[in-house]
Amino acid sequence: MTVIEIDGLHKNYRAATAVDGVSLRVRKGEIFGIAGPNGAGKTTVVECASGLRRPDGGTVRVLGLDPHTDRRELLQRIGTQLQEAALPDAITVGEALRMYASFYDDPADWRALMDEWGLTSKKRTAYGRLSGGWKQRLFIALALVGNPEVVFLDELTTSLDPSARRMTWGLIRAMRDRGVTVVLVTHFMDEAEALCDRIAIINRGRVTAMGTPSELTAKGRSHSLEEAYFALTAGGAA
Ligand SMILES: Nc1ncnc2c1ncn2[C@@H]1O[C@H](COP(=O)(O)OP(=O)(O)OP(=O)(O)O)[C@@H](O)[C@H]1O
């Protein structure tokens, strides 16, 4: 079953084209990676799919809904990762989870979620005092507090040390194992290889390749996904 259908998506910022005809399908229950150089248009695609930006052309359907016109309904059914600055430093982990749960018509039990994601020992800790790994753990729990069917994660592990990254990979797999469809924007090919069922490589606003890690490796005539990535993006930033 397809949960995200994007056809011919275009998005311009003033005179500059950020997304230039992206089409892709994400299937229910997969971890779908989006990779590509800085400025390639990855975040813009995710923002159009999650209703944060209005496309200039093309069609986007998420869970059969138009992210722009059906935004209210869609927001009840998707989870998006917060940016670092979205929470005040003084809010505690427990307060943040309780507050975000209140935004949804049918939220998860936030206390159970806190327990499940190992956050109970941090319940009274202020957000500003959490290490990067704990912040990411909280962001994942907050993305799940509305019981979403689809979760969008944009460079979730970029600022993490290697062990916190590995821990976060485990959390992302656990999310998928609960039946949640995950869209993961990443710059790390080891991460894409380890986690993603399929990956779209975007360069200069276009999909240049799409497939499983092994299909992309073969397409790039390479021995690793990282080498294939360089071959398929010609190594250049957009
Ligand atoms: N709000 C904005 N106003 C003007 N230009 C923007 C805006 N947001 C993004 N852009 C431009 O659109 C293009 C695509 O940006 P986008 O953030 O989608 O790329 P990205 O692939 O996610 O990049 P990165 O890997 O660096 O996060 C870039 O050239 C960027 O400078």
Interface ipTM: 0.97
Domain with 62, as residue range(s), is 1-77+197-238
The alpha carbon torsion through 74, 80, 83, 89 (nearest 10 deg) reads: 90
Q: Give domain status of residue 36, yes or no.
A: yes
Give the residue, by CA position, lying nearest to ligand 1 atom 17.
43
Residue 230 covered by a domain: yes
Quote the ligand 1 centre to 155 CA distance (angstroms). Answer: 14
Q: Which residues line ligand 1 (CB under 6 A)?
A: 13, 16, 18, 36, 38-44
Number of domains comprising the chain: 1
Three-class HEC string of 44-89: HHHHHHCCCCCCCEEEEEECCECCCCCHHHHHCCEEECCCHHHCCC
176 in a domain, yes or no? no
Adjacent-strand bridge partners of 126: 92
Residue of minimum CA distance from atom 23 in ligand 1: 39
Domain assignment of residue 100, yes or no: no
Q: Given this model, what pLDDT does residue 238 score?
A: 43
Kindly give, in sequence order, each residue whose CB lies less than 8 Å from that of residue 128, ignoring residues fewer than 6 positions away. 88, 89, 90
Is 164 inside a domain boundary?
no
68 C-alpha vs ligand 1 centroid, how far in Å? 20
End-to-end Cα, the chain, rounded Å: 32
CATH of the domain at 219: 3.40.50.300
Given the CA of residue 155, which atom of ligand 1 is nearest to it?
27
Ligand 1 center–CA 120 separation, angstroms: 37
Does 58 reside within a domain? yes
Distance CA 44, CA 205 (A): 9
The sign of the torsion formed by the CA atoms of 210, 214, 216, 219 equals negative
Residues 6+ apart with CB under 8 A from 224: 189, 193, 217
Return d(Cα 226, Cα 238) in angstroms, integer.
18
pLDDT in tens, the chain (238 residues): 999 999 999 999 988 999 999 999 999 999 999 999 999 999 999 999 999 999 999 999 999 999 999 999 999 999 998 777 789 999 999 999 999 999 999 999 999 999 988 899 999 999 999 998 899 889 989 999 999 999 999 888 887 888 888 888 998 999 899 899 999 999 999 999 999 999 999 999 999 999 999 999 999 888 899 999 998 887 544 4
182 within some domain: no
Residue 54 lies in a domain: yes
- Which pLDDT value is given to residue 168? 87
